[in-house]
Homo-oligomer: A and B are copies of this chain.
Amino acid sequence: MGSLFGQFVRVSIFGQSHSEAIGVVVDGLPAGHRIDFDRLQAFMDRRAPGRNSYSTRRREPDVPKFLSGLLDGVTCGAPVCATIDNLDTRSLDYDDIRNIPRPGHADYTAYVKYGGNADWRGGGHFSGRLTAPLCIAGGICLQILEREGIEIGAHIASIADVADVPFDPVRVRAEALDEVKRKGFPVVSDGAGADMIRAVEAARLDGDSLGGVIECAAVGLPPGLGDPMFDGVENRISCIVFGIPAVRGVEFGNGFGAAGLRGSENNDAFLFDGGAVKTRTNNHGGVLGGITSGMPVIFRVAIKPTPSIGREQDSVSLSEGRNARLRVSGRHDPCIVPRAVPCVEAAAGIAILDMVLGWKNGRVELNGN
């Protein structure tokens, strides 16, 4: 258990960093949707490693191979399975960590959980590489959502202490999200982006790594998506987003900032705008009681600095039962935040398509159709 998500769109992710292949099964996609493979590949490429100085030098083409679920490139109602072969694996790089767990990684907890049978090579099933199949599933969901007028986009809100310009929570539109997606470095302000790249490079030269925050917006959502209590928008998005390695926190709307405001400051007044009910501000991040209000859904995700760093660190030798020193070799991103941006979009896409497909349950008439 563990690698399954969703009620209507069921996503099942498999693979380890150095297994034969990684992949995903997506069950429940509506039939009749043509997959735009070029756009999907472009989406995958935003996450793919080895493209620049701030990502790992492991190079993987990350081209999904579709095994099922399509007829002439169109979803046919059967589960879609797509795989990516693991090509550029160097298991020898990881020989040390078989015995000496890397600080900040799941090596130790996997060792405890699976009694020594865990696949220790490259982090196994806990590797960030598993976000590639997440992006296949999410990329497909995002295409379907776009046809329904729903667009999801993210940007780097901050890396270390360099902050980007936030999305306008009230007026953000699909065009603004698209503009960021077309950039090589996903920020609103290119100046801030340049500063971030410099900070990452400095950390890399230092044998160190950086974390950051990603902000994500979903626009075009109808009001009424989501369910009360444990199946609300926040529950579902946080549940899938915490499936991305290195995520340490999730907040919606003004999030932790709301804790410091008074009710009179935090409440978003309702008003009619062009015949539709809107809110004047959007501190609520488009969700009230777990259900979309029709305003943009806004959430932010905290990403910790890559735990694999070039410096020697304190750890333990599990076989010898004594403290030990570890220097992590292998190839690692000094900052995974840029590559995590499409992963957050993918996760949000899956969770939101899941809610869209369940949307009408509260009211549809069978024969009224």
**CB distance B211 to A261 under 8 Å?**
yes
Stretch at the interface among A40-48, A173-181, A187-195, A351-359: A351-359
Q: Which of B109, B223, B229, B236 contacts A130 (CB 8 A)?
A: B229
**A104–B290 alpha-carbon span in the complex (Å):** 12
Cβ–Cβ < 8 Å partners of A21 in chain B: 67-68, 81
Could you give, for residues 251-275 of chain A, a 1 whenever the CB lies within 8 Å of some chain B CB and a 0 otherwise? Answer: 1111111111111111111111001
Q: Which of B1, B28, B112, B268 contacts A28 (CB 8 A)?
A: B1
Cβ–Cβ < 8 Å partners of A148 in chain B: 365-367
**CB distance B68 to A16 under 8 Å?**
yes
**CB distance A30 to B248 under 8 Å?**
no
Closest to A279 in B: B103
**Does A35 count as interface, using CB distance less than 8 angstroms?**
no
**Does A79 count as interface, using CB distance less than 8 angstroms?**
yes
Cβ–Cβ < 8 Å partners of A271 in chain B: 314, 316, 323
Cβ–Cβ < 8 Å partners of A161 in chain B: 260
Closest to A212 in B: B259
Contacts A228-B2, A306-B263 given; indicate if A68 touches B248 (C-beta within 8 A). Answer: no
**A194–B140 alpha-carbon span in the complex (Å):** 52
**CB distance A302 to B230 under 8 Å?**
no
**Does A12 count as interface, using CB distance less than 8 angstroms?**
yes
Cβ–Cβ < 8 Å partners of A253 in chain B: 248
**Does A305 count as interface, using CB distance less than 8 angstroms?**
yes
Cβ–Cβ < 8 Å partners of A2 in chain B: 27-28, 227-232, 290
**A277–B316 alpha-carbon span in the complex (Å):** 8
**Does A54 count as interface, using CB distance less than 8 angstroms?**
no
Cβ–Cβ < 8 Å partners of A314 in chain B: 269-271, 280
Contacts A248-B253, A272-B323 given; indicate if A305 touches B16 (C-beta within 8 A). Answer: no
**A1–B230 alpha-carbon span in the complex (Å):** 9
Could you give, for residues 95-126 of chain A, a 1 whenever the CB lies within 8 Å of some chain B CB and a 0 otherwise? Answer: 00000010111101110111111110100111
**A256–B114 alpha-carbon span in the complex (Å):** 30
Contacts A264-B208, A271-B314 given; indicate if A289 touches B245 (C-beta within 8 A). Answer: yes
**CB distance A248 to B243 under 8 Å?**
no
Q: Which A-B residue pairs are the 7 nearest by beta carbons?
A: A106-B289, A249-B251, A2-B227, A78-B125, A209-B263, A269-B314, A109-B291
Q: Could you give 10 example pairs across A and B, Cβ below 8 Å?
A: A3-B229, A14-B81, A19-B78, A77-B110, A103-B267, A108-B270, A249-B249, A259-B303, A264-B309, A270-B316
